[in-house]
Amino acid sequence: MTDLQLNSVSRRGLLGVFAATALVAAPTYTNAFGLLKGAGDIRRIRMYSGRTGESIDTIYWIEGEYIPEVIKEINNFMRDWRTDDVVKMDPRNFDIMAAAHRLMDVNEPYMLLSGYRSAKTNAMLRSHSKGVAKNSLHMKGQAADLRLQSRSVGQMAKAATACSAGGVGKYSRSNFVHMDCGPVRSWGG
C-alpha cells in the first residue's frame, strides 16, 4: 500500500491541488515545439460550446502523463452534439490546441464549433457544404473547429501552423480555424 493510500488522498485530489498551484508556477514557452515535445509540466485546455452551453477549463496533462479522468471529460465535451455520440478523442489534438492557445497569449477560451462528428452528422453537413471532407478527421476524433473573438482567423491559423504538428484550415468567411492531428498541411483563406 502506498503512502497516498494510507493517507486517504486520491490521485485526482492530489493532481487537483498540484494543478492549482502549478498554474502560477508554470514555465512560459517561447513556442509550441517545446510544449509538444513535453518540455512543460502542465497542459491546459479552455473551451466553451455555444451549441450546448457547456464549458471546460481543465489541466489534462501533468509531468508527462495525460490524466485519464480528465481526458474522458474532454471527450464528452467534444461529443457530436447533434447525436450525443462520444468517442475517444486523440489527445494529440488537445496538445495542438493548447499549444496554439498558449502561443496566442490569450485568456479567452476557445469556442468549440465542432469536435467529434458521427458519420451521419458528417454526411448531413457534407450535403449542405462543399467544405466538409468525406473522410473528415472529425469522424476519427482527431479534429476541432475553433473560434476566438479576440484573435483573427489568420492569427489563430499562424499559431496552429507554428506547432508543425497537424492540419490547419482557415475558414475566414465563417470565422473559424480547423486544427487536427493528421498530416502536417494547411488550406483555406
**pLDDT on residue 18:** 43
**What is the block-wise mean pLDDT of the chain (189 residues), using blocks of 10 residues?**
39 44 36 49 93 96 94 98 96 96 96 95 84 88 97 97 96 96 93
Contact present, 111 and 147 (Cβ < 8 Å): yes
Q: What is the DSSP string of 52-96?
A: T--EEEEEEEETTEE-HHHHHHHHHHTSBTTTTB-----HHHHHH
* pTM greater than 0.85 (yes/no): no
Return the C-alpha cell found at 124.
Answer: 448531413
Q: 123: which DSSP letter?
A: H
**What is the structure's pLDDT at 17?**
41
